[in-house]
Amino acid sequence: MHTTEDLDELMTCRLDHHRRQVESAVIVIFGASGDLTSRKLIPALYQLYAAGQMPPDFRVIGFARREKTDASWRAELREAMDRFSRTGPVDETAFAGFAERIHYCQGDLADPLAYQRLSERIGGMPVPELRHNRLFYLATQPSQFGLIADQLHRANLLERDPAEGWHRLVVEKPFGRDLASARDLNHELTLHAHEHQVYRIDHYLGKETVQNILMFRFSNAIFERLWHRDAVDHVQVTVSEKLGVGGRGGYYEEAGALRDMMQNHLLQVLALIAMEPPVALDAEPIRDEKVKLLSSVRRPTPDQVSRQTVRGQYTAGTVAGQPIPDYRSEDKVAPSSDTETFVALKLFIDNWRWSGVPFYLRTGKALPVSASEVRVQFKQPPNVLFAAQCGPRLDANSLTLRLQPNEGITLHFNGKIPGTGIGLRPVRMHFSYDSEFGAYTPEAYERLLLDALSGDATLFIRRDEVEQAWEIVDAIRAGWDDQPMPPDSFYPAGSWGPEPAHEMLARTGHAWREPQTLR
């Protein structure tokens, strides 16, 4: 007889055996002195190396203005690993082997001679693959993307169709600040590279549970058959953060919650939740469906914006026992700022599957908990039997996908209260990733860097996908039309946002469901 563990192993289906091999390559990080490099990129590359997942040979070259030697930069990164490693103490033997592959190239981004030095460094690599396979990671301001791509091309480091090997650009968000600037940026990047060579990274797509949305939807027939307007009443997507803006006040004044979170993270989750089945599990079919979905999102008119969007800004308060100052008193924030730290949207998707189903999206800072989740709320049963007697006290069925923290999936339904009487109450059936699998979950950048090295663009954003998302956001900003923030838009830190966000749902008999800690 087979044990449960034996059956689990027999029923395990591996889909990555056709995945392209990760080839030896040089990884050049522009902005090597920045926070992203020490906090995310180097720890991710180290974890991949320690786990034996990096290619047979590779090199990392940091490019930045400050004068450093290979040895001094390696020492800096080793110190940073103690602060940012997610797996406990650093294995000294593993890091020593990793550090041998790290180099530094000093230079200004606008200096052609610096790129010549970089070219000489790459040209002196010991094996052909390291000289020909090049991954350029642009961990810089978006305004510098075009400059770097141009300088790389002039130094013969970036070519559309290299005679040997491959050349790829990885670029970080924010990818533009509106549709026009995003199109300009796309144009600059594709002057010297094909679209398939450009990898626009959104770390949210690298999260294990975000990737699992597609598998959950399309490998489970019981749920996919309910995933449409006949069964779903509405969908809620919440991404909440406990912290205020802290030291990012200057950036936030330029971006705001709509550009910083809604345009990328939440609209990406929306696309995965609502897209049609792709024809294959390859990058382009999946990205095709995401673009189709975003193009189907109804662009709100200015009048609709006033009824279907809410913006807010936090005032002083307390979150988890910690005082949070008023947003307007944060460093580098204007005393009369109207920048939104909270935004809630009611969106409609004009296609056959979702016609008439509202999608509620919200994100904000200085909220009670840091959590990301999707709640699919199903329609109430007919108003007979239990529904007729219980009325609003009969809770609707729902499915919650918890993206972070405590990743898992919860099915909410009604059950009988034990005892001699007859009573109903909501109960839940919960699946926890940690309890089921228990293994180390790779950090998002680990998966994304590995995919970029292997040439798998599935989890990266295509140019038309970026532009569709900006069209939605631009329509909302046009509706706001630089108007001052309404008096009822302010919310105390530690609350669940401004009152109008709750009123927006209440008008149609809906209510936000607050994320709860899942155990």
Q: How far apart are the first and last CA of the chain?
A: 33
Task: Give the list of residues 6+ apart from residue 385 with CB closer than 8 angstroms, or none.
Answer: none
Residues facing residue 196 across a β-bridge:
none
> For residue 483, what is the DSSP state?
P
Helix boundaries (H) for 100-203: 112-123, 128-132, 145-154, 179-189
**Which structural domains are found in the chain, ordered by start?**
25-172 (3.40.50.720), 205-506 (3.30.360.10)
Burial call 306-342: b when 16+ CB within 10 Å, e when fewer: eebbbbbbbbbbebeeeebbbbbebeebeeebbbbbb
> For residue 461, what is the DSSP state?
B
Cis preceding-peptide flag for 325 (omega within 30 of 0): no
Cα torsion 264, 266, 272, 274 to 10°: value is: -130
Task: Give the list of residues 6+ apart from residue 391 with CB closer than 8 angstroms, or none.
Answer: none
Q: Are 232 and 357 contacting, i.e. CB atoms less than 8 angstroms apart?
A: yes
Tokens 């908990």 locate to: 369
Selected catalytic residue, list 103, 132, 192, 265: 265
Interval 100-137: pLDDT, tens = 999 999 999 999 999 999 999 999 998 899 999 999 99
Q: Are 198 and 152 contacting, i.e. CB atoms less than 8 angstroms apart?
A: no
SS (H, E, C) 504-516: HHHCCCCCCCCCC
Please tell me the pTM assigned to this model: 0.90
> For residue 5, what is the DSSP state?
H
Q: In what order do the strands lie in the sheet with 25-30?
A: 102-106, 58-64, 25-30, 134-138, 167-172, 198-201
Annotated catalytic, 2? Answer: no
Token pair recorded at residue 343: 């935004």
- 3-state secondary structure (DSSP) of residue 377: strand
Interval 100-110: pLDDT, tens = 999 999 999 99
pLDDT values of the chain reduced to their tens digit, one per residue, 519 residues: 556 555 455 545 445 555 567 889 999 999 998 889 999 999 999 999 998 999 889 999 999 999 999 999 999 999 988 888 777 788 889 999 999 999 999 999 999 999 999 999 999 998 899 999 999 999 998 889 999 999 999 999 999 999 999 999 999 888 888 999 999 999 999 999 999 999 998 887 877 777 788 888 888 888 888 999 999 999 999 999 999 988 888 888 888 999 989 998 999 999 999 999 999 878 899 999 999 999 999 999 988 999 999 999 999 999 988 999 999 999 999 999 999 999 999 999 999 999 999 999 999 999 999 999 999 999 876 555 555 555 565 567 889 998 888 888 888 876 666 766 666 667 678 887 777 766 556 778 898 999 999 999 988 999 999 999 999 999 999 999 878 889 999 999 999 999 999 999 999 999 998 886 543
Token pair recorded at residue 89: 């103490």
Alpha carbon distance 264, 173 (integer Å): 9
Q: In what order do the strands lie in the sheet with 371-378?
A: 424-432, 408-416, 398-404, 371-378, 232-240, 358-364, 342-348, 309-315, 490-492
Q: Are 410 and 518 contacting, i.e. CB atoms less than 8 angstroms apart?
A: yes
Alpha carbon distance 394, 168 (integer Å): 54
